[in-house]
Amino acid sequence: MSAVNETLIRDVVADVLARLGGTPAAAKPAPAPAAKADCGCGGKGTASSAPALRGKFGIYADANEACAAAHESFLQLQKAGVAARVKIVEIVKAMAEANAETWGRIELEETKIGRLDHKIEKLKIIKLVPGVEWLRPDARSGDHGITLEEYTPFGVVGAVTPSTHSIPTLSGNIVNICAAGNAVVFNPHPSAARCAAVAVRAYNEAIFRETGIENIATIIEKPSMESFSAMCKHEAVRILLVTGGPGVVKAAMQTGKRAICAGPGNPPVYVDDTACMKRAAKAIIQGASYDNNLLCIGEKEVFALENIADKLMEQMSQNGAVKLTNAQLDALTKAAFTITPGQGGGCGHASVNKDFIGKDPIVLAKAAGLSIPSGTQLLFAETGADHPFVVEEQMMPFLPITRVKSLEEGVARSLEAEHGYKHTSIIHSHDLEALTQMGRALDTTLFIKNGPCMAGLGLGGEGYLSFSIATPTGEGVSNPRTFTRVRRCVMVDNLKIY
Ligand code: NAD
């Protein structure tokens, strides 16, 4: 991983803090908000005048103010029309790509988890998130006239973002949510809030410059449980989008508002003897090492049919992964988990040591007591199916490999490890029976066959991208339609022209 440019980060953060209440010198004068042109017919549609520049650029200390400002922007966006939504999407995609290096660095510097190359890539690919083109209305025409169903906005969406991909999630969320005509207020993860504010400010500056809309995405500067609660309660916030672990999903579902929940996962991988071992090994390494295994869709445990388990591990060793001995695995497990003894002699509960989440393989190797070649992508070891590395969503560049005797056992173990999150599962096989059985049994939102996990989000597979995959609530890979109300408009007996 290349060194982080601390001076650059300090400059960016200092600039943001210094400018929080002031008007940036570089900002161009505000244009009039994009408004529907007066067609000259003498009708009532008129362009409104430009809003005064208040210099907050979306960053608020108070949750209620952030929600109110977002609501005002929603009303402005409604007036400005679809052209302004298109513009916002273009701006966010272009800026995420142009700022990928700087923002990737400041996110890594703040969170200290993951890999710089992948933090940068996650911003460059925001262009794969779908926009306004996804909102084509459905029409019906028949003997009784025509009916149009349109995808219309809710108003303000209250969003929570994770520490694992703060700016990418926020950027993708803005694209989806604003393409659908909404505004958004963010309660970001406290340990990734400063970098999120840098991006929100930059987006708002550019969006204001181009459209005259000032606070289309607002952010709570110092997020807390209280600010989350205030955001959820605010009357302008019509729906919630939470991306995170079990705690925030539960909290969002208890608010009484509709919550779109992109929840936790623990994706299992099953490999059988019909797969190409080299291809499977490479794909597993690629997915599990991505951003040091911070992806919720990332490969977290492998169940390998016993007759190919050795071959698979051999191929993993030949393709950038390093195998741990039992003693090294024990040492790493002791460092990476805290085991709370179970009641009545039970095996207890393992909780992940946060100091190891998203850390480089070299850090894990040190804890395991070995030195590894530079460029090592991933560590792995053979474990039992009840090992903490299998059971817990560990988010580290380490993969446990468990032997299974049959397809049935592989599917059953995978189902158990997935905990019913219905998030992501992966298979390497060319046996149609195995592909079908695993797909049906796991019942996950993403089911990837013969590729790395990211193929499920359009990276190497067909499809589009979002960093918010709504799993327990069932909306799937979020897209602009996820944030719309479907409204029907009916013309009786007329306007059918055939
Ligand atoms: P996290 O759950 O610690 O935090 C996520 C967000 O929720 C943060 O903003 C945090 O401040 C907030 N939060 C946590 N508990 C809360 C509570 N009780 N009330 C209100 N807010 C609360 O998650 P993280 O470590 O930042 O991210 C990793 C987790 O997110 C993993 O479980 C991963 O699988 C999941 N994730 C899911 C998706 C998806 O698309 N399904 C995407 C990314 C991450």
User: What's the confidence (pLDDT) of residue 343?
Assistant: 60
Q: How far apart are CA 434 and CA 439, in angstroms?
A: 8
- Ligand 1 center–CA 251 separation, angstroms: 11
Structure confidence by residue, pLDDT tens digits, 368-382:
999 999 999 999 999
Q: Among 107, 112, 164, 454, which is best to mutate for testing ligand 1, by the most ligand atoms less than 8 A from CB?
A: 164
Give first-to-last CA distance, the chain, whole Å: 64
Q: Establish whether residue 468 lines the binding site of ligand 1, counting it when its CB lies within 6 angstroms of any ligand atom.
A: yes
Which one, of 239, 257, 258, 259, lies nearest residue 249 by Cα?
Answer: 259
- Output 450 or 341, whichever has higher pLDDT: 450
Q: How far apart are CA 485 and CA 152, in angstroms?
A: 5
Beta strands 59-60 and 268-271, pairing class: unpaired
Q: Establish whether residue 245 lines the binding site of ligand 1, counting it when its CB lies within 6 angstroms of any ligand atom.
A: yes
Structure confidence by residue, pLDDT tens digits, 13-27:
444 444 443 333 333
- Ligand 1 center–CA 172 separation, angstroms: 16
Neighbours of 479 (CB within 10 A): 23
pTM value?
Answer: 0.90
Instruction: Give the chain's mean pLDDT.
Output: 90
User: What's the confidence (pLDDT) of residue 27?
Assistant: 37
Q: Establish whether residue 495 lines the binding site of ligand 1, counting it when its CB lies within 6 angstroms of any ligand atom.
A: no
**String of DSSP letters for 127-161:** GGS--GGGGPPEEEEETTEEEEEEEEE-SEEEEE-
User: What's the confidence (pLDDT) of residue 340?
Assistant: 84
pLDDT at 385 > cutoff 60: yes
pLDDT at 57 > cutoff 80: yes
Q: Establish whether residue 190 lines the binding site of ligand 1, counting it when its CB lies within 6 angstroms of any ligand atom.
A: yes
Q: Establish whether residue 469 lines the binding site of ligand 1, counting it when its CB lies within 6 angstroms of any ligand atom.
A: yes
User: What's the confidence (pLDDT) of residue 131?
Assistant: 98
Q: Say if residues 382 and 413 touch (Cβ distance below 8 Å).
A: no
The answer for residues whose C-beta is within 8 angstroms of residue 136's C-beta and 6 or more apart is: none
- Ligand 1 center–CA 162 separation, angstroms: 5
User: What's the confidence (pLDDT) of residue 56?
Assistant: 80
**String of DSSP letters for 424-471:** EEEEE---HHHHHHHHHHH--SEEEESS-GGGGGTSSSSS---S-EE-
Structure confidence by residue, pLDDT tens digits, 357-370:
999 999 999 999 99
| Tokens coding 368 | 């395991």
**pLDDT tier at 341 (50, 70, 90 boundaries)?**
confident
Beta strands 484-492 and 145-153, pairing class: antiparallel
CA dist list (Å): 421 to 246, 361, 400, 407: 10, 27, 19, 21
- Ligand 1 center–CA 359 separation, angstroms: 18
Domains detected in the chain: 6-263+477-486 (3.40.605.10), 268-460 (3.40.309.10)
* Nearest atom in ligand 1 to 470's CA: 41
Looking at residue 395, the DSSP 8-state letter turns out to be: -
- Among the residue ranges 40-49, 103-112, 162-171, 314-323, the one predicted with the least confidence is 40-49
- Output 29 or 217, whichever has higher pLDDT: 217
Q: Establish whether residue 262 lines the binding site of ligand 1, counting it when its CB lies within 6 angstroms of any ligand atom.
A: yes
- Output 364 or 7, whichever has higher pLDDT: 364
Four-CA torsion 82, 84, 87, 89, nearest 10 degrees: -70
* Nearest atom in ligand 1 to 393's CA: 32
User: What's the confidence (pLDDT) of residue 45?
Assistant: 33
- Ligand 1 center–CA 186 separation, angstroms: 13
Q: Establish whether residue 263 lines the binding site of ligand 1, counting it when its CB lies within 6 angstroms of any ligand atom.
A: yes
**pLDDT tier at 30 (50, 70, 90 boundaries)?**
very low
Structure confidence by residue, pLDDT tens digits, 104-160:
999 999 999 999 999 999 999 999 999 999 999 999 999 999 999 999 999 999 999
Q: Establish whether residue 171 lines the binding site of ligand 1, counting it when its CB lies within 6 angstroms of any ligand atom.
A: no
